[in-house]
Structure 1
Amino acid sequence: MAAEKIPPGKPTSMESTMIDKGAKILQSLKPIKQMNQNICTFALYNHDMSRQIETHHYVSRVNQDFLQCAVYDSDDSTGRLIGVEYIVSDRIFENLSPDEQKLWHSHAYEVKSGLLVTPRVPEMLAKPELEILAKTYGKFWCTWQTDRGDKLPIGPPSLMMSPQGVNLGMVKPVLVTKRDDKYNIYSDALKVARVEIAEPEWINPQADYWRQHGKGFAVDVEESEMKLRAPFP
């Protein structure tokens, strides 16, 4: 199974292994060391709700209103880096433009439903963080579609969305059961235990755009003339 996750290429040489070990000792790797927790949840492709994946978000807390996450497809040593998610507080989100807000999803349902967990961290210790996350929004770009068997990161990134209820893209039970069995948890029990976690007073309708409009967003690549200065955004 582990071999199936390895991209095409020659085995790592002894020389490269020694270089890696030496660099680990000599270099600071400061950005990586800021990752302090693993959040496990599920995500759906914005353009195809039938495609659902388990995700592991390794979180760096920039400040109280902004988190940045390296997203892997598992927490095993063979886990593949499949994307990046940015998480902002509701206060930051309300200051984004309406067009930008369409690319973000809310986290309240993930938290309250028990889909979002902090593996191996007791629920009592995780609760303060869950209360914060319930009032945040995320923008998640998937750069490697390992769920369809891609051996390498192919094509443009895909925007991902959050599950938002039984009739609106709820995660397939088999995925939840597999995850729960691995960490010896029970999502339905977590849902009951999290009843008292306060939900946001208001979730901006521009987030979870697909819920209101039935439309997703897909990225395509177009050839264009090269310019000295590219427009932004």
Structure 2
Amino acid sequence: MATAHCDNNASSIPETNNASGEPLSTKWKVLDTGAGMVQDFSPVKNICEGLNAFHSYASEPSRCVETNHYCAHLNEEMRQCILYDSPGPNARLIGVEYMISPRLYETLPSEERKLWHSHVFEVKSGMLIMPHPHGLVPPSAAWDAIETKAMEDVVHLYGKVYHLWQTDRGDKIPLGEPQLMTSFTAEGQFDFEKMVGERDERFGTDWRKKKELRKEIKEPEVHEDADQTWARKG
């Protein structure tokens, strides 16, 4: 099985948003500033967790994209995440992900369950991270403990992801239909050490350390309907 090639060059903070269109005019900068001082942005203010990981195209798993997630809890069993191509102020919104508990997952029809992926490998391998709030400042033991505790919950969740903007092929605007995405479930599905290592350099993190910190997290049994991209690949 050929390993996936991941696009993570766009995840460094770009000087521009790399999208087609004229630069924002002074008129709109002024109007946006004024509106921002008056309007209430409650839905986005509920975002409480930032994550970084890699998504693979379900229809073409040799393609994958590094993705920054900004998530809010709808309730104890469901989260919703806005996905961006970078953590910077010029980031492009490229998709959405929903995460649900195993209990909710099992209530879904079988065909629906096949659209969802597990997070076990993402967590246990050290691929999935909560970037430190101060960038390249080395995370403290307290931050490591917070992240590890959060991963104890995420490891059980199932995710459903659609990307709306195929930035990895150079699209300057969102083109085509939404693309169902999935995540990796085992070593050898993409060049893990290279891609995750390059990501770690930018975020000041270390997947090896995270893997060690998470070794005591118990791996849940993954439902047979999940992770269908890799199930089909054997």
**TM-score, length-normalised on structure 2?**
0.87
- Asked if 1:160 corresponds to 2:208, the answer is no
Q: Is the 8 A contact 2:61 2:229 kept in 1?
A: no
AA in 1 matched with 2:114 = K
Q: 1:173 aligns with which of 176, 190, 193?
A: 193
Distance in 2 between residues matched to 1:148 and 1:185, nearest whole Å: 27
- Please tell me whether Structure 1 or Structure 2 has the larger radius of gyration of its CA atoms: 1
1:89-128 equivalences under 5 Å are 89-120=101-132, 122-128=143-149
Distance in 1 between residues matched to 2:160 and 2:222, nearest whole Å: 15
Q: Is the 8 A contact 2:14 2:88 kept in 1?
A: no
Alpha-carbon shift at residue 10 of structure 1 (Å):
1.6
Aligned length: 213
Write the deviation string for residues 14-33 of structure 1: whole angstroms up to 9, x where unpaired: 11111100111110011111
AA in 1 matched with 2:63 = R
- Asked if 1:182 corresponds to 2:194, the answer is no
Distance in 1 between residues matched to 2:203 and 2:116, nearest whole Å: 28
Instruction: Tell me the SS of whatever aligns to 2:86.
Output: coil
Alpha-carbon shift at residue 53 of structure 1 (Å):
1.2
Distance in 2 between residues matched to 1:123 and 1:205, nearest whole Å: 32
Distance in 2 between residues matched to 1:68 and 1:127, nearest whole Å: 20
Write the deviation string for residues 118-158 of structure 1: whole angstroms up to 9, x where unpaired: 00062211122110000000000000010110000000011
Counterpart in 2 of 1:230?
Answer: none
- Asked if 1:210 corresponds to 2:229, the answer is yes
Distance in 2 between residues matched to 1:3 and 1:156, nearest whole Å: 28
Of structures 1 and 2, the one with the larger relative CO (CA 8 A, separation 6+) is 2
Unaligned regions of 5+ residues in structure 1, if any? 216-233
Q: 1:182 to 1:3 in 2, by over 3 A?
A: closer
Instruction: Tell me the SS of whatever aligns to 2:62.
Output: strand
AA in 1 matched with 2:223 = N
Write the deviation string for residues 21-76 of structure 1: whole angstroms up to 9, x where unpaired: 01111100111111111111111111112212111110011111000000001101
Counterpart in 1 of 2:92?
Answer: 80
Q: Is the 8 A contact 2:100 2:158 kept in 1?
A: yes
AA in 2 matched with 1:71 = L
CA RMSD of aligned residues (A): 1.6
Unaligned regions of 5+ residues in structure 2, if any? 1-12, 134-142
Q: 1:205 to 1:152 in 2, by over 3 A?
A: same
Alpha-carbon shift at residue 171 of structure 1 (Å):
4.7
